Amino acid sequence: MTTSYVIKGAVLPHGAKSDIAIADGLITQMAPDLNIPGATVVNAANAIVLPGLVDLHTHLREPGKEDAETVLSGSQAGVRGGYVALSAMANTSPVADTAGVVEQVFRLGQIAGLLDVFPIGAVTKGLEGLELAEIGAMADSAARVRVFSDDGHCVFDPLVMRRALEYVKKFDGVIAQHAQEPRLTQGSQMNEGFVSSQLGLKGWPAIAEEAIIARDVLLADHVQARLHICHLTTAGGVEIIRWAKQRGIQVTAEVTPHHLLLTDELARSYDPVYKVNPPLRTESDVMALREALADGTIDIVATDHAPHPAESKECEWQEASFGMLGLETALSIINKTMVETKLMDWSGVAERMSITPARIARYENHGREIAVGAPANLTVMNPTKTYRVDRDLVASRSRNTPFHGMELPGVVLATFFNGKLSFESKQP
Ligand SMILES: [Zn+2]
């Protein structure tokens, strides 16, 4: 008999109140005022309980860049943020383009044991965009990869993209595209617009994203395959996804917390912590992304957690790496941008941060409604309690959070993974 728990006084996503009993990895009872002798009580008065969060876009950096993050440190950051499953991007060193590398990452996740680490396989060998990677072998491996992405790079060749979409259809896989037309973004440093022209930094135009999204939804339609668009950032991209969904094309899209809050105005500081790919856009893009996430045009929130060591960020803007941390702050940013603004309720958050990402990636033990008999993968958070982000207190090995010093609403109190308490807040 494993440890059993009772979550007391929690509010479910739809607003009902219930205690939740957990034993042997499952939710065993749900009722008001449960009293179970011997069970450990987790006090969740005034807290929301969500199905455990699932991130489809995490850079864990192992193997190869362990100074930035490891599977273990990334898992620790994940559980602090309320996550129970992370999809690890393939742009490691070596690249996760073979069964051997995806199995290595998968096993490292199991050894860390805090949450599920599901490796994403590369679409092309070495992320070079030329030749398909060992997609079938990765799908058949112990890691059972279903999501493939060259993230960091765009699959720019339309014929390679077509072949990849056709290939993954065989096992119900999905291609996650980093939409960036390479010729339109050579040497780009930030969003192309008013601010970039004032600062004299080379621009990354919105159309470089939109052109690839438009091409790929048409390809996905043509071959009847599943396409997922990573980190959507532009109002124009939202319009194309909306059009594609109306036509019944099998496309899903994600947005990051940072693109729902921050704008290119922050580049005026020349602080490379705000340098990210795709770049921070304008206020009107931010508002379009929020509306699209609320109405379901954008299906999910994904963090694009991208740790970098200090030397890659404490330098001139032009030399700095692209990317920001995201796992530990995602839920509170969504609370601030979507729930406190009344654009979305907690059942919407459950859909966008757990249920739908698990469905897109076919993670069967995740994203389940909170009900008796379901696996006990749960996130307990106090939405009204605030905290100040401190980059020196993060669980990640890196410090590149753009939210440092910000007061954010919503503290994760506890994370349950397969019925075990994988994180509990030390704050009262
Ligand atoms: Zn990307």
**Per-residue pLDDT tens for 403-422?**
999 999 999 999 999 999 99
CA-nearest of 370, 328, 326 to 347 is 370
Distance 277 CA to ligand 1 centre (A): 6
Residue 186's Cβ-count burial label (10 Å; 0-12, 13-18, 19+) is exposed
Query: Hey, what are 363's tokens?
Result: 């993670």
Q: What span, in angstroms and rounded, lies between the C-alpha atoms of 230 and 83?
A: 19
Percentage of residues of the chain with pLDDT beyond 70: 99
Which residues are known to be catalytic?
Answer: 304
What is the per-residue pLDDT for 428?
Answer: 53
Statement: residue 2 has pLDDT above 70: no
Distance 424 CA to ligand 1 centre (A): 31
Distance 392 CA to ligand 1 centre (A): 26
Distance 233 CA to ligand 1 centre (A): 11
CA-nearest of 318, 299, 335, 315 to 407 is 335
pLDDT tens digits along 234-276? 999 999 999 999 999 999 999 999 999 999 999 999 999 999 9
Query: Hey, what are 360's tokens?
Result: 């897109």
Distance 178 CA to ligand 1 centre (A): 5
**CATH no. of 51-361:** 3.20.20.140
Q: What span, in angstroms and rounded, lies between the C-alpha atoms of 14 and 7?
A: 17
Confidence of residue 1 (pLDDT cuts 50, 70, 90): low
Question: How many other C-beta atoms can be found within 10 angstroms of the C-beta atom of residue 305?
Answer: 32
**Helices and strands (H and E) in the chain: how many:** 12, 18
Distance 113 CA to ligand 1 centre (A): 26
Place of tokens 């071959």: 223
Write the DSSP symbol of residue 370. S
SS (H, E, C) 272-295: HHHCCCCCCCCHHHHHHHHHHHHH
CA-nearest of 152, 158, 216 to 185 is 152
Q: What span, in angstroms and rounded, lies between the C-alpha atoms of 209 and 179?
A: 5
User: Largest Cα–Cα distance in the chain?
Assistant: 67
Which residues share a beta bridge with 20? 7, 30
